[in-house]
Every structure is written in C-alpha cells, then in structure tokens.
Amino acid sequence: MGGKFTKLDPMQVEVPDIDALLNRDPYLRPYEKEIRRRYACFKDIEDSIEENGGGLDNFTKAYRYYGINIQPDNTIICREWAPGAQQLFLTGDFNGWNRDSHPYKKLEYGKWELILPPKEDGSPAIQHLSNLKIVVQNGEGHKEDRLSPFATYVVEPPKEEGTIYKQKFWNPPQTERYIFRHKKVPRPKSLRIYECHVGIATQEPTVGSYDNFTDNVLPRIVKLGYNCIQLMAIMEHAYYASFGYQVTSFYAASSRYGTPEQLKRLVDRAHELGIVVLLDIVHSHASKNVLDGLNRFDGTEAGYFHSGPRGEHSLWDSRLFNYSEFEVLRFLLSNLRWYMEEYQFDGFRFDGVTSMLYHSRGIGQGFGGHYDDYFGMGVDTEGFVYLMMANHMIHKFHNDAITIAEDVSGMPGTCRPVTEGCMGFDYRLAMAIPDKWIELLKHKSDEDWDVGNIVHTLTNRRWMEGNIAYAESHDQALVGDKTLAFWLMDKEMYTHMSTLSDQSLIIDRGIALHKLIRFVTHTLGGEGYLNFIGNEFGHPEWLDFPRAGNNSSYHYARRQWNLVDDDILKYKYLNNWDIAMNHAEMKYGWLAANPAYVSMKHDGDKVIAHERAGVLFVFNFHPTKSFTDYRIGVEDAGTYRIVLCTDDQEFGGFGRIDKSVNFVTVPEGYSGRRNYVQVYIPSRTAIALAKF
C-alpha cells in the first residue's frame, strides 16, 4: 500500500503522510487543501465512531446487535433501526402470524428492540427455517410487512405465492453448521483473477449451485492457473437478470444457489486449493424494491437513503445511500466485516465507485484527466470518505485483504493509502483497455491498428497505483455487447470450430488475435489480470439471464463446458493458451514486477516489444507480414530461449517457430537497450523469451 504507517496491531494509530503523495506527484500540490480537507473529514468520522459508536471494532459488528440474533441460552434478541416508524412488530410461524402480539420496544436514536425468552423446554422461541416478517407501522398508522435489513437468509417463494422474498430464521443445529478447516490464503504477489458467477457456471439450463461450483468449477480454475476468484451476484437480489447489481438483502447470501453453509464450503475449498476469494460488493446503490428490499423500510423516503432526487439513480432506477448517516455507515461497514468473518472472504471488488464519487453519478460526465475534475465541487465528499473508511477498516482488521475499485473516472490516489488522503484501494480496474479492444475490432481494419496507441492505452496508469488489466469482463459478455471471440469470429464459430472442418481464414485470424490480445494485456496492462468465466476458451454467444424478453430461457445463462472439453473442437486451443500464459506468469512473476519497458512500437510493422521481470515479449500484429532476423533491443546480455509462443500447434497455431533455437545477445545498443537479439516473428504471433 505504501505510505509511512506500519501496522503493529489492530488498534495502532496511523500517521498521516499526505506529503508523500504530493512529493510523488507535484501536480497535485494546487489541490493540497482539498486533499487535507478530505482526510480531516475521514478523521472526524473515525473520531465519532470511537466516541459514539463504541470503537471501530464494535461499530463494524452491527450484525451481532441488529437483526434477529440468538444468545447462548437460546434467548432471541431482535433489534432494528427504523427512525421514521411509529411502531414495529414481529410476526411469523412462531406466533401464528399474529401481527400485533409481539411489539418492539422503542429505544433511543430510532432503534427498536424485542426480546424473546426461550420456551419452557429451553428451546428457542423461533425454530430454524421459520418464516418471519417485520411489521412496520408508519407515521400514518399503516402497517406493512417487511424483511429485516439484517436478514441472513431469504428465499424466493413458490410461483403460486407471488414474487416477494421470504425471510427465514437461519439457526441450524451445530451438527449442520459448516466448520472452516483451512486458513485464508496469503495475499498473492501476482493477482490472476477469475471473475465468475455461480448461477451460470453449469452447462445445464438451470441455476448452478454452490456445490456444483465447489466440486466442478474450482478444479478447472486451479488448472487454468488463476489464484483468485471474484464471485458475482452473491448478495441476495430478487431479480436474477440484474446480475446481482440490484441488491435487496445485503446480509443474505443468495439462496438461489444453496444455503449459507454451502457457500462457506465453497470458500473453504477455494482456500484449500490456494485460491483467494473476493466478493463483488454493491455499496453504490440498492434496489428500489419496498416489500423485500431496504427502500422505505421505516415507512419514509429517507432512512438508509438520501431523500429527494439525490437519493435516486436515474439510469439504474435504484436508491442511493446516505453515507453521512451514522447508522448507514454502521450498516455498510458491518456488511463488509460480515462477509469477511462469517464467510471468510478475502476482500472485495467495489462496484459502481464512480457513482459514489461524483454528484453527477458519472452520468454524462466526461473525465478528460484534468485534475480539476477530481478536486472540485463535483466530487461527493460523503461517498469519497465512506470509501476511505471502508478501506481503512478492511485493512485494519484483515491485513492481507484485497480491495479493487471499479472506477471509470481515474480518480488520482484511488490506490494509495488513506494516510495519504486517498481512498486506500489496492487496485483499480483498468477499464479503458477492454474499450480499446472493442473499438479496434468494431471500427478498424487490422492494417489500421495503431500499435503506439495500443501501447499507450495499456501503459497509461498512475505510478505506484495497482491496476487490474483485462481484455474483457462480464460487461462485454452481456447481451447487447459482444465478447472478443464473437467480435473476431461470430457466426463462423457455429460452422468452423471443428478440427475436422474446412480451414477458415476468419477462424484462423480469430484464434490468433484472441491469444495476442489477451497476452499483450496480461504482460503490459497492469499489476493484476482478470478473465471472465468462459472467455478463456472463447465462449460462444452472449450472456443473457432468463427474463420476459427471452421467454425466461436459461439457454444463454450457462457456460458450455462441453465445448472446451471436446477434443475435436478448437476451443481447447484457446483454453490451452490461457493455461500456458498463467503458468508462465506464475514462474516469472511479471504482474508483480515494475511496469514494462517498451522498446519497440513500430506502426508500419505492427510490432510491439517490451521487457518485464526479465522476460522479453515480442508481438507481431501484422495480418500478413512475417519477419526474419527481426532486431529487438534487450537490456540484459545472455542467451535467451523462447518459453512461450502463440504459434505452437497446441494453441491452434501453425508451428512455424523452432523453439529449440538459442538467441545470443549482440552487445550493441538498440532501441534504447544495451543489447539486441534477432528473432523470427511470423504474422499474428507473439513470443516470450527468457534467459537460461
């Protein structure tokens, strides 16, 4: 993370070092006052939590206070925050759905409490899996049935009972609780992320399960060489087609894939296999659903959200949190702690950070890179400071935790420590990279690709701020867009992906460029790499969840593993390349190394060459020209050998390169390097050379 603080224990005071940020980037000095103001706002909240919230440790365990919690003696204590409510009641199977018999007692500051002693036989008053509702009497005296914001298990009702989710009391016997057996994985130096969705991780036209993912998909991920999974759509969402981005129950792991214990088993098995597990967290907004969401929980427009226009996202049709409200901070920060301690997640990818950072929510706002965009009145200080506090808390209690920001704006200091007046993320998603590849494939012929511009896009990132590079993610896989494979090969994938079919120039080009695009992104684009489930083998077609517009079909809401497993199909070539690429990174560690030195970006030849972690990478993007004895500069003298080649036949190439050849450097300066080698580099081919 950098900066001047060292963590000796969880309660150590961190020393601010904003000058470190300003010395590293002197162009930020005109904005020093604003940076220090933000840090002061963060400290004010931290001090308030210490004075009024019982300290950060206690404050971020609100799930032990709120919601429906069972005590060691089987007493059940129910508490909620509903400042606008006139009265609260608890109803359910336990009291025959009497909506008046169990009123909550009103406490200070909008809190409500209900204590249910054990039955005469000592058993809890509410049994495991009993249905519950909270009855909220609003200011006008009307009663509404609601789900607790802290509900930990909610389920979709049978179709004949409607669409409103049901809250069930999750309190299984000790014999049925999953016990974690494996420690969390130490934070990897190189992060190779497999972005995935449990529900689509089956080839059957149905919703995949936690158990299916644990038993069948995790082994694939290990074989591919990824050391991190990023689980999407885990927080419960009533609308499956929202991809998990319209959250209705923040503390409930989605029941459509299985039980909380089955999710724990998934995480534990991943740790056993050496895989870090990140959660795609949605704290940027919440579903507008009233009866099974947070919206209007206490009967008012406000509560957890801003009132008026500031509380609504016009494009997402969702509610926006009021990050200045003390109980909202408690709710959200505890939500992070809940997933890290109850489910043992190793960190988070924060969705929609741009919306949190700007009053415009990023709508219609162009970010040209001028610092005025990031330090003016358009920045939402409350959202910014919440993210500072979230990262501060996460790293305070879990030193190896990983946080990633999904921010399209490029806010300076996103991935610098909170003590530097910054947000404290470990990485940000390099969102300009996939946009560049789509732009080229959509609008440019191969001959018109500007390799200098490609290199600029791949290397244009702030020094000492980690980036996660990716050629495509779930965004490009969704219906309405196209994956790289589809942009490259489209309908030819239905007729010419068999090794027995006639040769297709479109398929040959597609397979070659699919490998080159991923490889140059992997080696040049960041300090981590991300791939979306199935894209490693060029999964055909788009991703579309069952909805009214497709007759509720699961045909496109699945992954066709049979395609990559069929030895007669060419998908195996792309999959083999992904394995080779990740395992080479595992050996040489270029993602953990300093950014690459680019010695060649020849637009006429379409050749890119760069060095990173002692490996020399050479790319020939030219559609027709191959080059013999092509001179490439290299800093370190010695004998090199090809360790990776996209043209190998096992990767669907033509086998034009003899990998047994040694390349001895010539001690003569070239392209800004002390030495050079001469290589054969065929068209649409990439090679990696390392000393031996």
Question: What is the CATH number for 659?
Answer: 2.60.40.1180
The per-residue DSSP string of 219-264 comes to: HHHHHHT--EEEEES-EE-S-GGGTT-S-SEEEEEPTTS--HHHHH
Our answer to whether residue 351 is catalytic in this structure is: yes
Q: How far apart are CA 208 and CA 45, in angstroms?
A: 42
Nearest to 146 by CA among 300, 28, 312, 23: 300
Whether the CB-CB separation of 467 and 525 falls below 8 Å is answered with yes
Residues of the domain holding 664: 597-691
The pTM for the full model equals 0.96
Nearest to 212 by CA among 181, 173, 256: 256
Q: In sequence order, which residues have a C-beta less than 8 Å from that of residue 357 and are 6 or more positions away?
A: 379, 380, 383, 384, 387, 407, 409, 411
Whether the CB-CB separation of 147 and 165 falls below 8 Å is answered with yes
Count the neighbouring beta carbons within 10 Å of the beta carbon of residue 444. Answer: 11
Q: Any idea how long the chain is?
A: 692
Question: 318-319 and 312-313 as β-strands: parallel, antiparallel, unpaired?
Answer: antiparallel
In a domain, 118, yes or no: yes
In a domain, 307, yes or no: no
Residue labelled with tokens 């497709």: 550
Query: Mean pLDDT per 10-residue run, the chain (692 residues)?
Result: 37 76 96 97 97 98 98 98 98 98 97 98 98 97 97 95 95 97 96 98 98 98 98 98 97 98 98 98 98 97 96 97 98 98 98 97 89 95 98 97 97 97 98 96 97 98 97 91 94 96 97 98 98 97 92 96 98 98 98 98 98 98 98 98 98 97 97 98 98 94
Residue labelled with tokens 């190779």: 192
Q: Residue 22: phi, psi to the nearest 5?
A: -70, -35
Whether the CB-CB separation of 405 and 423 falls below 8 Å is answered with yes
In a domain, 147, yes or no: yes
Cα–Cα separations (whole angstroms), residue 2 to 275, 415, 633: 25, 10, 32
Our answer to whether residue 51 is catalytic in this structure is: no
Q: Looking at 158, 174, 190, which one is the last position of a domain?
A: 174
Q: How far apart are CA 364 and CA 313, in angstroms?
A: 13
In a domain, 337, yes or no: no
Longest dimension (CA), the chain: 90
Q: Would you call 7 exposed, middle or buried from its count of C-beta atoms within 10 A (0-12, 13-18, 19+)?
A: exposed
Q: Looking at 126, 152, 174, which one is the last position of a domain?
A: 174
Q: Is 666 helix (H, G, I), strand (E, B) or coil?
A: strand
Nearest to 337 by CA among 214, 251, 241: 251
Q: How far apart are CA 173 and CA 169, in angstroms?
A: 12
pLDDT at site 5: 32
CA 455 to chain centre: 25
Count the neighbouring beta carbons within 10 Å of the beta carbon of residue 359. Answer: 13
Positions of E strands within 540-638: 597-602, 607-612, 615-620, 627-634
Whether the CB-CB separation of 162 and 176 falls below 8 Å is answered with no
In a domain, 623, yes or no: yes
Whether the CB-CB separation of 218 and 274 falls below 8 Å is answered with no
In a domain, 611, yes or no: yes
- Active-site hit among 236, 312, 327, 351: 351
In a domain, 222, yes or no: no
Q: Looking at 174, 189, 219, which one is the last position of a domain?
A: 174
CATH of the domain at 70: 2.60.40.10
Question: 347-350 and 276-281 as β-strands: parallel, antiparallel, unpaired?
Answer: parallel
- Active-site hit among 406, 426, 578, 647: 406
pLDDT at site 13: 53
> Alpha-carbon dihedral of residues 374, 475, 295, 302, nearest 10 degrees?
10
Q: How far apart are CA 425 and CA 605, in angstroms?
A: 39
In a domain, 628, yes or no: yes
Alpha helix segments (H runs only) across 249-400: 260-272, 326-342, 353-357, 381-397
Q: In sequence order, which residues have a C-beta less than 8 Å from that of residue 145 and are 6 or more positions away?
A: 91, 99, 133, 134, 135, 291
Q: Residue 264: phi, psi to the nearest 5?
A: -60, -40
Domain count, the chain: 2
